[in-house]
């Protein structure tokens, strides 16, 4: 996949595309005018034209006619906030099993906020599921029945979880699994669950880093050299996923994906199948 770059610096181009879109809001511009006014370039016309076409040619928001006049495509507008500036809640849950629809419950939950490209201190707590944890799950996570016996039920932590999610994009490694449990637990505890944008780091990895043999958390963190502490514990996995998210967002912007709608559209076009992760991930 080609990666649009700033013709002057070689840096990722989303910011320049945003600048071009803002300029074209005022009306059409010739290729050479765009090169000078939006890109700050001067030089031979052929070189300037090459720079503009390299930057904008594969972006459906921009159109150019036979005279070299650029304009915004119908329905196109200025890109929204850059991906790295948005607020995310990176979530991981440990559970008694893989099916919230059959009554499996959360045994541990973590929410790690990411704001403006910075990972903040998050929420992490054991949860009393009100049922036995199967031995196989205890062996995987290290979370035992005695450990959760004195922990609060989800009802006791639901307000904090809801507050940690408020106004953020919900991110998880196989988001349908974690969101399914969180939504079910919030509905049971509070009678309502927030409507949030969902972002899956498995799908992001498949789209942005093609060619890996596997896309589980171990494979992707190894690919980026991300340390993982306390694997299969909620806070350790959520923190590793937050670090992974930052790498993936950087990769998305390097590939010219300017904002969240553009990212969602790109993922939709790829039509990656949605999988539901088991607790033995």
- Active site residue ranges: 232
Give dist(CA 39, CA 23) in Å, integer: 11
β-pairing, 106-115 vs 118-119, is antiparallel
Give dist(CA 47, CA 52) in Å, integer: 9
Give dist(CA 102, CA 214) in Å, integer: 28
User: Which of 203, 206, 201, 193 shows the shortest CA–CA distance to 171?
Assistant: 201
In sign, the C-alpha dihedral spanning 113, 117, 119, 120 is: negative
Rounded to a whole number of angstroms, the distance between the first and last alpha carbons of the chain is 29
Instruction: Take residue 87 and report the two structure tokens written for it.
Output: 């607020």
Contacts of 137 (CB under 8 A, 6+ apart): 94, 95, 96, 97, 107, 143, 279
> Which DSSP string corresponds to 88-134?
EEEEEEEESSS-GGGT--EEEEEEEEEETTEE---EEEE-B-SSPPP
Contact 33, 55 (CB under 8 A): no
What's 272's DSSP letter?
A: P
Half-sphere exposure of 113 (CA within 13 A, CB side): 18
């Amino acid at each position: 996949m080609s990666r649009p770059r700033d013709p002057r610096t070689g840096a990722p181009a989303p910011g320049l595309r945003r600048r071009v879109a803002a300029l074209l809001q005022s009306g059409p511009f010739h290729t050479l005018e765009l090169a000078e006014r939006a890109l700050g370039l001067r030089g031979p016309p052929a070189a300037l034209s090459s720079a503009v076409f390299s930057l904008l040619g594969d972006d459906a928001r921009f159109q150019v006619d036979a005279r070299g006049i650029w304009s915004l495509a119908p329905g196109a507008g200025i890109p929204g906030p850059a991906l790295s500036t948005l607020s995310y809640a990176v979530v991981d849950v440990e559970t008694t099993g893989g099916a919230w629809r059959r009554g499996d419950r959360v045994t541990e939950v973590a929410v790690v906020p990411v704001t403006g490209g910075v990972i903040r201190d998050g929420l992490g707590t054991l949860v009393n599921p009100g049922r036995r944890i199967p031995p196989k799950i205890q062996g995987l996570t290290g979370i035992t029945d005695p450990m959760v016996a004195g922990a609060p039920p989800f009802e006791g932590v639901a307000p904090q979880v809801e507050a940690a999610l408020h106004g953020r994009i919900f991110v998880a490694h196989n988001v349908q699994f974690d969101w399914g449990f969180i939504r079910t637990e919030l509905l049971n505890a509070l009678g309502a669950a927030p409507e949030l944008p969902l972002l899956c780091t498995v799908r992001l990895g498949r789209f942005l880093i093609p060619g890996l043999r596997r896309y589980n958390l171990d494979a992707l963190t190894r690919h980026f050299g991300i340390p993982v502490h306390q694997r299969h514990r909620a806070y350790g996995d959520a923190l590793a996923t937050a670090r992974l998210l930052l790498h993936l967002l950087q990769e998305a912007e390097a590939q010219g994906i300017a904002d969240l709608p553009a990212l969602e559209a790109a993922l939709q076009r790829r039509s990656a199948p949605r999988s539901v992760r088991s607790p033995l991930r």
